[in-house]
Amino acid sequence: MRFLAYIIGFLILIAGLAWAAIEAGAPQLYVMIGAVIFLGLGIIMGASRTRTLRKQGDVTVVRDNDTL
């Protein structure tokens, strides 16, 4: 759910930036390329910032030649 909210917010940001760039007179091709790049960055950032961390449990390390 957090990832979805992050992506929706990022899409709104991209839409606002694209609209501003078009109004400023930037070529549409450049705006589309920039939007795709920002979308990729948003997905990467959203995935890395919203991932769940695993709780560290008790771990017993046993070598092959050790007995339990």
> What are the structural domain ranges in the chain?
2-49
Note the pLDDT of residue 47: 87
Helices in the chain by DSSP H: which ranges?
2-23, 28-49
Distance CA(16)–CA(53), nearest Å, equals 32
Q: Quick one: pLDDT at residue 36?
A: 96
pLDDT by residue, tens only, the chain of 68 residues:
788 888 999 999 999 999 999 999 999 999 999 999 999 999 998 888 887 766 666 667 667 765 65
